[in-house]
Chain A
Amino acid sequence: MEAIADGDANRQLQQIRTFITRKVDGIVLVPKDAQTCIPAIKAANEAGIPIVLFNRPAADAPGVKSTAIVADNRKLTRETVAFMTEQARKTGKKHKAMVIIGDLGDINAVGRKDGFYDTAKGQDAVLEVVAEVPSEWNQEKARAGVVNALQANPDISFIFSSSDFLFPSIVAALKSANKYHKIGEPGHVFLGGFDGDATAYQMLVEGYLDATGVQDVYFEAEQSVQALLDQMAKKDVATLILDPGFVIHQGNLAEKKSRMWGANVSKK
């Protein structure tokens, strides 16, 4: 059975209860957020049905048992920004940087923001962070924020987006400021992201994107099924399984693209 809550936490809870009514053997839940999924996990626990959280862990709550398979957002962002910084260092110039952050109620967004600053803070010779744009995972907000930041700091030349799905907004803003150029062309703005979606893949292929941190969804899916099977077999399963992911860039695109979910979606 499959159900889509379309961002409605109350509907998601009802859907989980419906699954329990249908006496499913296990549930894979992509939680709306860390808090509102707790009653759903409790309901599954009470019914004795194994439950695995995909891509987002639940907040701490006493007596609530689940396994979460999550990308190591902080580490992967740190690695992605480190790669971008090394590329920027090669220009011999100091770059003004912008970071677009997600909904800070989302633990994934917090991890990515922290990962960005983990790397950026030690790179004073290469980077100066001049703009932090809150997007709340909203493309319109991201676009308005990027436009404003580019007007305030027209010499921004380094942008990290906490999610690839915001790239259409960022690209539109860069195009209006006449700052969207391929890698190696004069005026190129270093661009990096997180997720590994189809837009990011296309931008890599076309030579506009420097790097993105790819969530290895195949690894996450395999681990989700395995965790369910292990829970059914009454084996001990870790409460958190981290997907290390990988950084994809121009240098390893051919080698890594088969594992990039956005590349495979793009083919279809």
Chain B
Amino acid sequence: MTAAETPNPPAAPANAWQFVRRGLLSDYLVLWLSVVYFAVLAPFTPGFASESNLQTILAYALPILVVSVGLTLVLIIGGIDLSVTSMIALASVVGGKIMSADEGWLAGNALAIPVGLLAMLLVGATLGAVNGFAVTVCRIPAFIATLTTMMFVSGLAIWFTLSRKIGGLPPNFLLIGQQLWIVAAITGVATWLAHSALARTLYGRWLYAIGHNTRAALVSGVPVQRVIFFTYVVCGLFAGLAAILLTAGLETGNPEMARDNLLDIVGAVVIGGTSLYGGKGRVIGTVFGVLFLALVDNSLNLLGLHFYTITMIKGGVILAAALTDALRNKLLASR
């Protein structure tokens, strides 16, 4: 055998490592994982790839995506908002109290739906402003400020309704949640707006600058306090929008709405590559994160796994995402 005919043994592992490295550093890693997960599970999971199941996945994932997109913006500035689920609960019951034909303040009035929708958005934005004020003016750490808001608002929602669920919502309002294309359109527009703001505007660049180094951003002329305040308001607004979708979908104003969804929301954002330390993240990553978590959740349900097993697996997936993020950072630093 001549030298020219001899294969080069180290080339294969080197190429494989390059492939893994490229995959790890790709912005579309989670999307590829979702595609692979879907392709691998589909043959073994009855009904996983059916049209009705894909609709089920979307119906569950889209409201989660809306609130996750708002949270992505807050995480990019190095903040956190633990109160988004309680905002959803309060917005849900306030909207219900306005629109319900049974007990609504505007029952039967033509303005019930527009006023109800506006009020739900306003509840989210107002609570976002409270968080923003606490973080920027009172200088309370975001974790404590939003944890307190969560506790207060959760209690307020239950007190406001005396624990009662509010039914009798107007049929035209329920259409928002019953027609998947409407949910998809609303979610699509909200997500696109957030993506554009982040990727193509000065506001987006300010968010990254604040997340990277707040002091440096301040010195560079970024109106740091105003941007942080505004970002919490936007996050609240997205929570209000999610409340509209969830309330219409469940046909009920519910003071416990989304109470158990915080894991899915934060998890999806982290899986999507947004850093909990700030300065890094993309809306499209969050879209992939929500999609991946919804696929995992749905497939495990279809396989008949126990709820607690599913929760443990989802926790493991989120941990794996955090570890992958750490590995990506290390690889980027070694470039």
B and A form one assembly:
yes
A10→B258 contact, CB < 8 A? yes
User: Are A39 and B250 also in contact (CB < 8 A) when A4-B306, A21-B50, A59-B167 are?
Assistant: yes
Q: Which of A98-119 contact B (CB under 8 A)?
A: 103-105
How distant is B240 from chain A, measured CB to nearest CB, in Å?
Answer: 17
B95 → A minimal CB distance (Å): 14
Contact A9 B254 (CB under 8 A): yes
Which of the residues A11, A23, A61 comes within 8 Å of B260, measured between beta carbons?
A11
What mask results when residues 6 to 19 of chain A are scored 1 for a CB within 8 Å of chain B, else 0? 11111101110110
A229 contacts chain B at the CB level, 8 A cutoff: no
Is there contact, CB below 8 Å, between A3 and B301? Answer: yes
Cα separation A4 to B301 with both chains bound (whole Å): 10
> B164 → chain A, closest Cβ, in Å?
4
* A185 CB → nearest B CB, Å: 37
Q: A6-B307, A103-B163, A105-B164 are in contact. Are A21 and B302 (CB under 8 A)?
A: yes
Q: CB of A203 within 8 A of chain B?
A: no
Residues of A1-46 whose CB lies within 8 A of B:
1-11, 13-15, 17-18, 20-23, 33-36, 38-39
A2 and B251 in contact, given A14-B59, A18-B53, A105-B165 (Cβ under 8 angstroms): no
Q: Are B307 and A36 in contact (CB under 8 A)?
A: no
CB neighbours (8 Å) of A17 from chain B are 52-53, 56, 59
Q: Residues of A contacting B259 with CB < 8 Å?
A: 7-8
User: With a CB–CB cut-off of 8 A, which chain A residues contact B252?
Assistant: 9, 35-36, 38
Tell me which residues from 41 to 58 in chain B have a Cβ below 8 Å from any Cβ of chain A: 46-47, 50, 52-53, 56
B136 at the interface (CB under 8 A from A): no
Q: Interface size for chain B: under 10, 10 to 19, 20 to 34, or 35 or more residues? A: 35 or more
Min distance, Cβ A103 to any Cβ of chain B, angstroms? 5
A136 at the interface (CB under 8 A from B): yes
Q: Say how far B123's CB is from chain A's closest CB, in angstroms.
A: 19
Instruction: Please give, as numbers and ranges, the residues of chain A lying within 8 Å of B256 by CB-CB distance.
Output: 7, 9
Q: Footprint of B on A, CB under 8 Å?
A: 1-11, 13-15, 17-18, 20-23, 33-36, 38-39, 59, 61, 103-105, 136
User: What are 22 of the A-B contact pairs (CB < 8 Å)?
Assistant: A2-B304, A4-B307, A7-B259, A8-B259, A9-B250, A10-B60, A10-B246, A11-B260, A13-B249, A14-B56, A14-B298, A15-B301, A17-B53, A17-B59, A21-B47, A35-B252, A104-B164, A105-B161, A105-B162, A105-B165, A136-B158, A136-B163
Using a CB–CB cutoff of 8 Å, the interface residues on chain B facing chain A are: 46-47, 50, 52-53, 56, 59-60, 63, 158, 161-167, 178, 246, 249-252, 254, 256-261, 297-298, 301-302, 304, 306-308
